[in-house]
Amino acid sequence: MNPGDFCIARKNHLVRYTKYKENDLFEKIIIILDEPFLKKFQERHPVDVPVFSNDNSFLFVEETKFIQSFVHSLEPCYTGDLQTKKRLLT
């Protein structure tokens, strides 16, 4: 895995990876979606998924503007700058 990579880590796979420094900082965002959430989401938003066979522990995702915007929207949460959140609550 390299800085800037987007991936989905598969459930029940033991993995090892190396975190690389970028500009002398380690940054990574991990979003965990539990099985009940995913099942409920699938019920509300059914999708026809073709048969998929892949044994890799990480499924790399192509960077898109949607993914990039989503990650940037999380920045106040992981930098400690919660000004955005406070403004939304008032």
pLDDT digits over 62-84, tens only? 889 998 888 888 777 766 655 54
pTM for this model (two decimals): 0.56
Q: Which residues of 48-77 are buried (b: 16+ CB within 10 A; e: fewer)?
A: eeeeeeeeebeeeeeeeeeeeeeeeeeeee
Domains in the chain, number = 1
Domain-located, residue 1:
no
Domain-located, residue 31:
yes
pLDDT digits over 12-71, tens only? 777 776 666 677 665 677 777 888 998 999 999 998 888 888 888 888 888 899 988 888
Domain that holds residue 43: 6-89
How far apart (Å, rounded) are the C-alpha atoms in residues 27 and 84?
Answer: 20
